[in-house]
Structure 1
Amino acid sequence: MPASPAPNTLPPRFTGTFVSAFAVLCGARTDLPDRHVCCVFWLNIAAALIQILTAIVMVGWIMSIFWGMDMVILASYKEQGIPQQL
């Protein structure tokens, strides 16, 4: 049996918001009672699209933090004279 994809991938980032947009059309209550249902639907769709588009940026941002931490760790090893294994 092939391995299943990791649960923390792209789809979970926006599916909740996307599903909630359609839930509003089905009569779900919202925090914006003064807005029309279509307006809340499109706001949720826009939020889901923004989440999809910024997912790549967030992954890159997190990876840059990890690389920065690695560089500091390697520099401290070199300063202490500890042999490094790359």
Structure 2
Amino acid sequence: MKESVNSGLRRKLLVGAAGAGSLAALRPLTILAAEAGSSVALGFAEIPAGALAEQHLYALPGKVPLIKKTYRPPNFETPIEYFRTP
């Protein structure tokens, strides 16, 4: 009985340590991604941060590329550059 209690505690300790270690390892990546994908730094102050990294441009035959939001059903969005006045 004592053996199973110790192994359960040991398992919980290892799971907690692994989770904390993975969070600590991923933290620098999120900071780097936030700096690289900042929409304000790219000149798109009206778009929320991180939105540009998620968009995929797709051009239908004979058309200009549009932002593809979903695949089924196809849902396209006009890029913001087309709404800016010269």
Superposition TM-score, scaled by structure 2 size: 0.39
Superposition TM-score, scaled by structure 1 size: 0.39
> Relative to total residues, which structure has the larger helix share, 1 or 2?
1
> Relative to total residues, which structure has the larger strand share, 1 or 2?
2
* Larger Rg, first or second structure (1 or 2): 2
Higher relative contact order (CA 8 A, sep 6+): 1
